[in-house]
Amino acid sequence: MPCSFRISSWVCDNSGETMNKKDIIICRCEDVNLEQIHQLLKQGYTNFEDLKRLLRVGMGPCQATTCGHLIQREIAKFLQKPIEEIPIHKVRPLAMGVELKKIAEDPKHED
């Protein structure tokens, strides 16, 4: 099927033909493709947190900086809702700093 101007450029290859959903990588950090996203949406997993738990999207080094909006858009298209109505993922820091003073004062760490 030829690619049209209405389809985003990332869905088309250089020849103008529509790409296979397996070839369209949505989450580069976790190597998740568009077909995997669509399969889970059809199974009823229609929010970012579900997809995150099942496919690990948004859990790589970029923390959904690259894939977050793409996944949000696919969920919106599937649910036929405006993208503004689709909640974005929850950002949780990978690690939390602890002051050395607090560790030193902790009675559990006494010899």
| CATH number for the domain harbouring residue 55 | 1.10.10.1100
| CA-wise closest residue to 67 among 111, 23, 96, 24 | 24
pTM surpassing 0.85? no
pLDDT value at residue 31: 94
Does 60 reside within a domain? yes
% of the chain with per-residue pLDDT over 90? 49
Cβ count near 26 (within 10 Å): 25
Work out the average pLDDT over 55-66.
90
User: Which residues form the domain of 17?
Assistant: 9-109
Does 1 reside within a domain? no
pLDDT at 46 > cutoff 90 = yes
d(CA 33, CA 26): 5
- 77 pLDDT band (50/70/90 cuts)? very high
In the chain, how many domains are there? 1
Does 2 reside within a domain? no
